[in-house]
Amino acid sequence: MKPVEWREGVVRLLDQRKLPTSEEYVDVRDAVEMAEAIRALAVRGAPLLGIAAGFGMALAAGGSRARGAEGLLRDLDRAGRVLVASRPTAVNVAWAVHRVGGVAREAVSGGPEGVRRSVLEEAFRIAREDEASCAAIAELGMALVPTGARVLTHCNTGALATGGCGSAQGIIAAAHQAGRNIHVWVDETRPLLQGARLTAWELQRLGIPMTLVADVAAGSLMARGLVDLVIVGADRIAANGDVANKVGTYQLAVLAAHHGVPFYVAAPTSTIDPVIPDGGAIVVEERDPSEVTRPFGVSLAPAGTAAANPAFDITPAQLITAIVTDRGVARPPYRQTLGRLADRPNEASSAPPVRTQASA
């Protein structure tokens, strides 16, 4: 299953709005269409958004009519701004745009075709690195999951959200494959039910024992001693370890702290934003209130009901037991440990260029 795939100048997206009832695909041909697909949640998950943004920049480069490299750079800059504005909380979009833009500037001496080639190669490299990153997170995080563990997870952090096996869900899958005999409690994740629609779908395909629960059941499960650890992903991690993730994560962290349950976050180092000092500086995306009052077109509230729809919340670092990254497991004090991990070289980034054919 490939949620994002380059096909000779077109990016094919598995439309995650349609899952689990049908597997449909969307063809994206330029950066504006990619930004809309990101905004509409046809493609989602912080690491995968970075990959999608990278390919969005490649589409912009390929579709630019600029005759010179400088004009192409201006077109890429405009495309980058459109992509970054699509979802302001997830740092991976801006990270990928900045990274691809930097490579483009370095390739100016090769003319417009040199820039186009370098941009596409960098987009593929981002995708390949995330696949390796997922494998590293799974291997490192598996040590935190004891045999027989009952794991609670929130939202979706598997192959649908990344370029590989997943972040938090990658750890879960690795523990299952290692014979740890685990069981997963899947939060439904309102209002758009990413847990019920996507995580449950993926875990079933992997044969991992799971039970879907309403978001409001998490506290009672912990009170009954039925949760051994919580593992979630992240959309942005501040320099001090505060984490922005799908709304509902913060209350899980509070409940876990109250009940003495370890609370883990799993994310690639690309999700660490060292420029953001703490969670108070993270912009939380506000989405259409109708996603709360009329999810999937089904009215749940009286007509005219006012609703708020924050897509994310901020979990303070002091509630987080550890943050599992592709470069190591960070523990408090996060400002020091995350800083060291972010500064460590990424081995995948020094690998040779990848093929850019559709089969790559």
Residue 358 pLDDT class (50, 70, 90 cuts): very low
Instruction: Look at the alpha carbons of 142, 254, 194, 327 in this order and tell me if their dihedral is positive or negative.
Output: negative
Judged against a pLDDT cut of 90, whether residue 353 lies above it is answered with no
* pLDDT at 343 (0 to 100): 73
Segment 288-293 long-range contacts (CB within 8 Å, at least 24 positions apart): 291/191, 291/192, 292/191
User: pLDDT tens-digit profile of 43-84?
Assistant: 999 999 999 999 999 999 999 999 999 999 999 999 999 999
User: Residues in the chain, how many?
Assistant: 360
More reliable by pLDDT, 283 or 348: 283
Per-residue pLDDT averaged across 224-251, rounded? Answer: 98
* pLDDT at 355 (0 to 100): 32
* pLDDT at 304 (0 to 100): 95
Judged against a pLDDT cut of 60, whether residue 346 lies above it is answered with no
* pLDDT at 214 (0 to 100): 98
Residue type, 246: K
Q: Please, are residues 6 and 27 in contact by the beta-carbon 8 Å criterion?
A: no
Alpha carbon 241 to its chain's center = 17
Query: What is the residue whose two structure tokens read 């506000």?
Result: 286
* pLDDT at 345 (0 to 100): 52
Sort strands 25-28 and 210-213 into parallel, antiparallel or unpaired. unpaired
Per-residue pLDDT averaged across 306-322, rounded? Answer: 98
Judged against a pLDDT cut of 70, whether residue 237 lies above it is answered with yes
Alpha-carbon distance 295 to 18, whole Å?
13
Per-residue pLDDT averaged across 5-15, rounded? Answer: 96
* pLDDT at 227 (0 to 100): 98
Judged against a pLDDT cut of 70, whether residue 4 lies above it is answered with yes
In three-state form (DSSP H/G/I as H, E/B as E, the rest C), the secondary structure along the chain is CCCEEEECCEEEEECCCCCCCCCCEEEECCHHHHHHHHHCCCCCCHHHHHHHHHHHHHHHHHHCCCCCHHHHHHHHHHHHHHHHHHCCCCHHHHHHHHHHHHHHHHCHHHHHHHHHHHHHHHHHHHHHHHHHHHHHHHHHHHHHCCCCCEEEECCCCCHHHCCCCCCHHHHHHHHHHCCCCCEEEEECCCCCCHHHHHHHHHHHHHCCCEEEECHHHHHHHHHCCCCCEEEECCCEEECCCCEEEECCHHHHHHHHHHHCCCEEEECCHHHEECCCCCHHHCCCCECCCHHHHCHHHCCCCCCCCCCCCECEEEECHHHCCEEEECCEEECCCHHHHHHHHHHCCCHHHHCCCCCCCCCC
Dihedrals φ, ψ of 352, to 5°?
-65, 160
Question: Per the structure block, which two tokens stand in for 290?
Answer: 């109708």
Residue 311 pLDDT class (50, 70, 90 cuts): very high
Sort strands 263-266 and 229-232 into parallel, antiparallel or unpaired. parallel
Question: Per the structure block, which two tokens stand in for 42?
Answer: 């046809």
Alpha-carbon distance 77 to 60, whole Å?
10
Residue type, 83: L
Per-residue pLDDT averaged across 220-231, rounded? Answer: 98
Q: Nearest CA to 79 among 28, 125, 34, 126?
A: 34
* pLDDT at 342 (0 to 100): 81
What domains, with CATH codes, occur in the chain? 4-136 (1.20.120.420), 138-343 (3.40.50.10470)
User: pLDDT tens-digit profile of 79-134?
Assistant: 999 999 999 998 999 999 999 999 999 999 999 999 999 999 999 999 999 999 99
- The contacts of residue 20 (CB under 8 Å, 6+ apart) are 197, 198, 200, 201
Instruction: Look at the alpha carbons of 41, 203, 153, 187 in this order and tell me if their dihedral is positive or negative.
Output: positive
Question: Per the structure block, which two tokens stand in for 108?
Answer: 């100016």
Judged against a pLDDT cut of 90, whether residue 19 lies above it is answered with yes
Judged against a pLDDT cut of 70, whether residue 258 lies above it is answered with yes
Active site residue 77: no
Per-residue pLDDT averaged across 202-211, rounded? Answer: 98
Pick the catalytic residue from 30, 215, 235, 326. 235
